[in-house]
Amino acid sequence: MSEQLDWSSLCGSADSGSRPIEPEKQADWSSLVDWTSLCGSADSGSRRIEPEKHLGWTSLIDWSSLHGFSLPSQSLLLKWRRHPPQAAGWPPFFEAEARGLALLAQTNTVRVPRVYAHGPATGARPAFIVMEWVDSAPARRDVGGLPARAADAAGAKGSAATPGALLGRQLAALHCATADAYGLDHNNFCGDTPQDNRWASSWVEFYGQRRLGFQMELAGRRGLMPRERRWRLERLIAGLARWIDEAACRPSLLHGDLWGGNWLVDAAGRPVLIDPAVYYGDREAELAMCRLFGGFPPEFYRAYDEAWPPAPGRDERIPLYQLYHLLNHLNLFGEGYGSQVDAVLQRYVG
Ligand SMILES: Nc1ncnc2c1ncn2[C@@H]1O[C@H](COP(=O)(O)OP(=O)(O)O)[C@@H](O)[C@H]1O
Ligand SMILES: [Mg+2]
């Protein structure tokens, strides 16, 4: 397997030395991994792996001439899908995840796991992403999601030092990263659903067409859009400017799918964001998603609002922005979410 590495570019002809090497740039990870033993026959899954045990590093490295080969010494997370969602005009599923994590990382506002490799499904190999494993203890909700072992350390400092409060401040800082328009330079996925990120200069247009309208079309094709529901949703989209003040909106970088299952707390008590569906959108859409399924302590919201106070009327728009994710759940999981969708529609259009 050693021919897969470009050894001359790695070592040159120097007698001795050390140099940092990015494994993902220098090695074809996908061929290093024994996929059958890692993934078995499961269609999809995730597992923690120890690189030394599962990747054939030792046999790949010419130890006599190579020094300082920098490999991840920590555990890794491997996620795989044999049949990931795909769509024409969309990047491969895990490429979209990696690009989203990279965009979040670039802001230096909140920790995200480092991605080492990803690739589409080919032959027997499933589509995969390999990233840094984040050691996280089970959350203790009574102390704001603080992992048990970090709780005592932070206890004396009060709730301002909890991971929830940190996340609130860091998310507000993330939202300060802005663009000139709403959308993104590539499409991605929200859960398993394609997310249309074509740029728009108006947030009302973007949220109406690319978010609500896109989900409406999808639900229609799947037989989940009875006549009354469609009628109300069309009216809501047409009248969005009644509830949204375009002038008060900003294209902020959003995680995009921030529910309680998509943030972790590391061993040092720091929040970590995973599994994003990033785009530049109004920050109220993000906070509404946080509230939809719970999983964020009160100090998270307090810290966010302190760092960046809400625009007037924010609370009245929460269900409006939750509607996108409810429609997405309708499309992903079926009519079980129909009544929640209808309740939001009735609230705004009667
Ligand atoms: N980098 C990571 N380190 C440790 N655990 C992780 C990491 N990423 C994800 N997990 C765990 O796996 C779960 C699912 O991961 P996620 O990326 O959200 O995938 P899914 O697409 O299944 O939602 C998370 O809720 C978390 O418990
Ligand atoms: Mg997730």
pLDDT at 137: 59
Q: In terms of domains, do 61 and 124 share one?
A: yes
Long-range Cβ pairs for the range 12-18 (8 Å, 24+): 16/67, 17/67, 17/68, 18/67, 18/68
| Cα 161 from Cα 40, distance rounded (Å) | 42
Domain boundary among 132, 167, 195: 132
Q: In terms of domains, do 232 and 282 share one?
A: yes
Q: In terms of domains, do 33 and 147 share one?
A: no
Please state which of the ranges 1-5, 79-83, 176-180, 181-185 shows the lowest mean pLDDT: 1-5
The residue ranking higher by pLDDT, 121 or 235, is: 235
Cα 261 to ligand 2 centroid, rounded to whole Å? 6
Mutate to test the pocket of ligand 1, among 43, 44, 46, 50 (most ligand atoms within 8 A of CB): 46
Highest mean pLDDT among 51-55, 77-81, 130-134, 272-276: 272-276
Residue 26: strand, helix, or coil: helix
Q: What is the pLDDT of residues 23-38, one digit of tens each?
A: 444 445 555 567 777 7
Mutate to test the pocket of ligand 1, among 48, 257, 275, 289 (most ligand atoms within 8 A of CB): 275
Q: In terms of domains, do 151 and 106 share one?
A: no
Please state which of the ranges 4-8, 74-78, 109-113, 239-243 shows the lowest mean pLDDT: 4-8
CATH of the domain at 145: 3.90.1200.10
Please state which of the ranges 16-20, 27-31, 140-144, 283-287 shows the lowest mean pLDDT: 140-144
> Which ligand has the shortest distance to the CA of 257?
2
Q: In terms of domains, do 109 and 214 share one?
A: no
Answer yes or no: are the C-beta atoms of 186 and 96 closer than 8 Å: yes
- Locate 114 and state its tokens: 């480092």
Please state which of the ranges 130-144, 191-205, 207-221 shows the lowest mean pLDDT: 130-144
Q: In terms of domains, do 213 and 88 share one?
A: no
Residue 4: strand, helix, or coil: helix
pLDDT at 184: 98
Cα dihedral 28, 31, 37, 40 sign: positive
Q: In terms of domains, do 68 and 150 share one?
A: no
Ligand 1 near 273 CB (within 6 A): no
Number of domains present in the structure of the chain: 2
Q: In terms of domains, do 318 and 204 share one?
A: yes
pLDDT at 71: 52
Q: In terms of domains, do 95 and 206 share one?
A: no
Q: What is the pTM of this model?
A: 0.86
Cα 197 to ligand 2 centroid, rounded to whole Å? 20
Q: In terms of domains, do 27 and 176 share one?
A: no
Q: Answer yes or no: 152 catalytic.
A: no
Q: What is the pLDDT of residues 248-288, one digit of tens each?
A: 999 999 999 999 999 999 999 999 999 999 999 999 999 99
Q: What is the pLDDT of residues 214-242, one digit of tens each?
A: 999 999 999 999 999 999 999 999 999 99
Domain boundary among 132, 157, 190: 132
pLDDT band, residue 76 (cuts 50/70/90): confident
Q: In terms of domains, do 32 and 180 share one?
A: no
pLDDT band, residue 13 (cuts 50/70/90): very low
| Cα 159 from Cα 144, distance rounded (Å) | 8
Domain boundary among 67, 99, 132: 132
Transcribe 261-330 into DSSP letters. GGEEE-TTS-EEE-S---EEE-HHHHHHHHHHH----HHHHHHHHHHSPPPTTGGGGHHHHHHHHHHHHH
With CA atoms as reference, report the closest residue to 256 among 155, 83, 112, 67: 112
Q: In terms of domains, do 114 and 263 share one?
A: no
For the segment 98-109, the average pLDDT, to the nearest whole number, is 97
| Cα 146 from Cα 151, distance rounded (Å) | 6
- Locate 151 and state its tokens: 């709780």
Q: Of the listed 142, 152, 185, 257, which one is catalytic?
A: 257
pLDDT at 298: 96
| Cα 346 from Cα 232, distance rounded (Å) | 8
Does 2 score more than 60 pLDDT? no
Domain carrying residue 37: 2-132
| Cα 333 from Cα 241, distance rounded (Å) | 30
